[in-house]
Amino acid sequence: MDIFEQLARKLDELPEGFPATESGVELKILREIFSPDEAEMALMMRPGPETAEDIAERLGKPVVEMGTLLDDMVRKGQIGSLKMDGRQVYRLVPFVVGIYEYQRGDRLTRELAELFEEYLPLLSKKLGGHGPHLTRVVPINTGIKADLQILQHEDVRQIIEKAKSFRVQDCICRREQALLGNRCEYTLKNCLQYSMEEGAYDYFKLDGDIISKEEALIIIDETEKEGLVHNTYNVEEAIGGFICNCCPCCCGLLRCLKEFNAPYILARSRYVATIDLDSCESCGICRDERCPMDAIVEDDGEYRVEGERCIGCGVCVVTCPSESIILVDRPESDRDEMAENMIDWGKRRLEERGRHAG
Ligand code: SF4
Ligand code: SF4
Ligand code: SF4
């Protein structure tokens, strides 16, 4: 087994998975991203966080040499690094959400975009074929029925309020589609990362910008006006993560739901949209310009929401001229599950995939 096959197998052992294909496209992807030496180093990484000193000691290498190598691999998006309890730590990250999304700037080439596009149908079918869901929709909460409780993790502004550091970078899915000749009109640079640590993004100068909390909140306002769907990790508590703002045309997650029959890629929010027929003016904006899931249908001038297609994003609510759409609670028996934290999520996902936590 060559080094890329070994790395592919190791990535497939992570909770998210990295399925093998008959064509071997996943190996071509790894060859685009890693040199053989880098693949060998990635193979020696652990999914749990370790400092450069810990890794150097474990592998019997000089600390400075190891630090330089790890930093270089982080800049190339081959491994992950984050600040935890004031220390910079490094870890093996999954292919998605992880290595692929880290291919910033020139690292995302047309060749890589084409290979990813070839891999996406099988990748999404396997990753989205079992729970718990990879990511979850965070609803635009201005649309939630007034007397309903909104939990902290269901409110994108509360998630941001709690965090201490923020970064914004280009949306990889929109960049990928642009490279393939399908550039959409939505804003490119609004993929947010947040962390509960102060100065979490100071160590690495990566493509994208470090921004303030106020700037992050402005980006959220703008994405809601544009009709983008917020989503994040499918857990209640996270020490940091991403807030993706997804468009229906390019987003891998939304496309997986609609095109590739991969239900466990994106969990719906706890809500479902409903239209008040008495006040609805039948303008069609919600169906024609807003809903990313084609969940709103029209019958003889009457608009209604197809609950099983609705992901509870609230995108339709924002522009309804007569305020006829609201988000109401989805019946408890029909809700998508959410894990408490990433550890719980990873364990449950490995169980669902018939694997054991290492
Ligand atoms: S998942 Fe959505 S927001 Fe995130 S990179 Fe893809 S389109 Fe952009
Ligand atoms: S946007 Fe509002 S008024 Fe227009 S069709 Fe939809 S629910 Fe009715
Ligand atoms: S009807 Fe469409 S836009 Fe409205 S909440 Fe459901 S999925 Fe989102």
User: Are the C-beta atoms of residues 12 and 46 closer than 8 Å to each other?
Assistant: no
Span 137-158, pLDDT tens digits:
999 987 777 788 777 888 999 9
Collapsing DSSP states into helix, strand and coil, what is residue 12?
helix
- 284 CA: nearest ligand 2 atom: 5
Portions of the chain given CATH number 1.10.10.10: 3-127
What is the second-level CATH architecture of the domain 135-350?
A: 2-Layer Sandwich (3.30)
Residue range 115-142, pLDDT digits in tens:
999 999 999 989 998 899 999 999 998 7
Residue 250 alpha carbon, nearest atom of ligand 1: 7
Edge to edge, the sheet with strand 266-267 lists 209-211, 165-170, 189-195, 240-246, 229-233, 135-137, 266-267
Ligand 1 proximity of 45 Cβ (cutoff 6 Å):
no
* Distance between CA atoms of residues 195 and 212, nearest Å: 12
Phi, psi of 51 (to 5 degrees): -80, 165
What does the pLDDT look like over 143-202, one tens digit per residue? 777 788 777 888 999 999 999 999 999 999 999 999 999 999 999 999 999 999 999 999
Average pLDDT, the chain: 95
* CA dist 186 → 221, 291, 338 (Å): 14, 15, 29
Question: Which residue minimizes the CA distance to atom 4 of ligand 2?
Answer: 283
Question: Residue 358: pLDDT band by 50, 70, 90 thresholds?
Answer: low
For ligand 2, say whether the CB of 323 is within 6 Å of any of its atoms.
no
How far is the centre of ligand 2, averaged over its atoms, from the C-alpha of 93 (Å)?
43
Other CB atoms within 10 Å distance of the CB of residue 195: 20
Are the C-beta atoms of residues 142 and 318 closer than 8 Å to each other? yes
Q: Which CATH class is domain 3-127?
A: mainly alpha
Whether 251 is in the pocket of ligand 1, judged by its Cβ within 6 Å, is: yes
Q: How much distance in Å is there from the Cα of 271 to the middle of ligand 3?
A: 10
One-character DSSP codes across 31-45: HHH--HHHHHHHHH-
Q: In this model, does residue 294 exceed pLDDT 60? A: yes
All CATH 3.30.70.20 domain ranges in the chain, comma separated: 135-350
Q: Helix 36-44 to helix 63-75 angle, to the nearest 10 degrees?
A: 110
Inter-residue contact 294 to 249 (CB < 8 Å)? no
- Taking the C-alpha atoms of residue 250 and residue 175, their distance in angstroms, rounded to an integer, is 9
- Residue 331 Cα to ligand 3 middle (Å): 16
Cβ proximity of 15 and 345 under 8 Å: yes
Nearest residue by C-alpha to atom 3 in ligand 3: 291
Whether 287 shows a pLDDT value over 80: the answer reads yes
The answer to whether the pTM exceeds 0.85 is: yes
Q: Are 184 and 249 in contact (CB under 8 A)?
A: yes
Q: Which SS3 state, helix, strand or coil, does residue 235 take?
A: strand
- DSSP letter for 96, please: I
Q: What is the pLDDT of residues 327-346, one digit of tens each?
A: 999 999 999 999 999 999 99
Task: Identify the CA nearest to 121 among candidates 32, 19, 191.
Answer: 19
Closest to 270 in 3D by CA, of 141, 169, 142: 141
Please give the Cα distance from 14 to 91 (Å, whole number): 12
pLDDT at 356: 67
Report how far residue 351's alpha carbon sits from residue 355's, in angstroms, rounded to the nearest whole number.
6
